Amino acid sequence: MTQQERRKGGGSKLSRSETVTVRLDQKLRYLAELAARKHRRTLSSFIEWAVEDTLGRVVLYESENYSRSIADEAAELWDVDEQDRFARLALMHPDLLTHDEQVLWKLIRETGHLWLGHYDDEEQWSWNVRKESLIYERLREHWDDLRKVARGEQSRDTLPTVGQTSSPQPTDENAEEDIPL
């Protein structure tokens, strides 16, 4: 085995963390280095720990008797799929979206093919924007096109419309209009 072959096979293939460049003024860096020493960590390990620790103090929602931090909602906000992660954030905390993300989310909300729903009295597809109504498989399938349309690189006509599927459009079993009285 050559050295180059060993290099290719060596090491983990899993990316456990991502390198981020941060600027610290001299005083903060020095104090962070001292804190890292006290914790017996590297500076980067200490910074990662400090960020994770702080997530419990960043409040996303607060009322008189109830509050939720980013740490509290981490399991609901995180997903390995970028599309699912984006949808979860948009559904739970649309106020945290950037302008470009708001444009994309509006496009997703207006694309009926991505949502469970029903045909109304005028034979128009109707849906409610709710976590339970989003068809994540279709969001993943059309993600690249949705992003291109949102950036203005592609026409909205390239997106699927209701009825443009090999299987029938699923309906929302929980829609109020479909509940017999």
49 and 123 inside one domain: no
The percentage of the chain sitting over the pLDDT mark of 90, rounded to a whole number, equals 70
170 and 127 inside one domain: yes
Region of 152 (left: φ > 0; alpha: ψ -120 to 50; beta: rest) is left
91 and 149 inside one domain: yes
Q: pLDDT per residue over 67-80, tens digit each?
A: 999 999 999 999 99
86 and 36 inside one domain: no
Provide the domain count of the chain.
2
Please give the residue range of the domain that contains residue 144.
72-176
Residues 6+ apart with CB under 8 A from 119: 125, 126
49 and 132 inside one domain: no
Q: pLDDT per residue over 95-145, tens digit each?
A: 999 999 999 999 999 999 999 988 888 888 889 999 999 999 999 999 999
Q: What pTM, to 2 d.p., does this model score?
A: 0.75
168 and 142 inside one domain: yes
